[in-house]
Amino acid sequence: MSRTLVIGDIHGGLKALEQVFERAQVTQTDKLIFLGDYVDGWSQSAQLIDYLMALSRTNECVFIKGNHDTWCHEWLIYKEEIPFRLKHGALETINSYHNYTAEQLAAHLQFFENLTNYYIDDKNRLFIHAGFSSMHGPASEHYESNYSWDRTLWEMAVTMDKRIQKHSVLYPKRLLLFNEIYIGHTPTLNYNETIPMQGCNVWNIDTGAAFLGKLTCLDIDTKQFWQSDEVFTLYPNEKGRNK
């Protein structure tokens, strides 16, 4: 039976992705939606991109762009890095590309260029890395960077007074646009949670794989989810983004 599975921020943790796919018993009939931030953190960013490109030849895949992916894309083009990014896992990404050929780099550049800012399925479910600020939806977003940076959508959803009904004039218009919204970007560890969180119709799937958390894969129809081990245990000699 075909499933649609959504996967949270991976941050170079290829071992975690392989582990969670094994636990979820992913097959070629499953549609896979990745919420972005494939790189920066653990040591296998380049190898993870290789894995994802191969996966796209066997499965229907949707690859959303995260803020760290934007940074990596720029680095592949200009081969320049700034100290701010190095502090957020970019050094591990750069090192993972050691010995990659010009042909391999060109293929990865094409992968990043093909990433999409967001995806809406046939059941009016939105998949986006971070969020959007326009009350008319992501298609009307004025600043493209909001797709991969905005946290106001999640902060609004998770803190909203549950007594406010959808028909109320107080109910946020952004939340009425879609049946469900799936995001990453803001680790649930920030809220002392290690599993996916729901705020109104928004599901946060980033369970802190870049830090001390796990990687999560969730079935969007049943809401069953699978998780890797805490990713730092899979890379015992590394710090990820715990610096």
Task: Report the alpha-carbon distance of residue 241 to residue 243 in Å, rounded.
Answer: 6
Classify 4-234 by CATH class: alpha beta
Q: Which sequence spans correspond to the domains of the chain?
A: 4-234
For residue 27, give the amino acid letter. Answer: T
Model pLDDT for residues 190-241, shown as the tens digit of each residue? 999 999 999 999 999 999 999 999 999 999 999 999 999 999 999 999 999 9
Longest dimension (CA), the chain: 58
The confidence band for 84, taking pLDDT boundaries of 50, 70 and 90, is low
Model pLDDT for residues 149-196, shown as the tens digit of each residue? 999 999 999 999 888 888 899 899 999 999 999 999 999 999 999 999
Token pair for residue 120? 């809406």
Model pLDDT for residues 99-140, shown as the tens digit of each residue? 999 999 999 999 999 999 999 999 999 999 999 999 999 999
Model pLDDT for residues 18-35, shown as the tens digit of each residue? 999 999 999 999 999 999
Name residue, tokens 């599901």.
203
CA distance readout (Å), 117 to 72, 86, 112, 206: 15, 24, 11, 17
Task: Report the alpha-carbon distance of residue 195 to residue 207 in Å, rounded.
Answer: 6
* Confidence (pLDDT) at 125: 98
Mean pLDDT of 61-74: 96
Task: Report the alpha-carbon distance of residue 130 to residue 96 in Å, rounded.
Answer: 26
Please write down the HEC assignment for all residues of the chain: CCCEEEECCCCCCHHHHHHHHHHHCCCCCCEEEECCCCCCCCCCHHHHHHHHHHHCCCCCEEEECCHHHHHHHHHHHHCCCCHHHHHHHHHHHHHHCCCCCHHHHHHHHHHHHCCECEEECCCCEEEECCCCCCCCCHHHCCCCCHHHHCCHHHHHHHHCCCCCCCCCCCCCHHHHCCCEEEECCCCHHHHCCCCCEEECCEEECCCCCCCCCCCEEEECCCCCEEECCCHHHHCCCCCCCCC
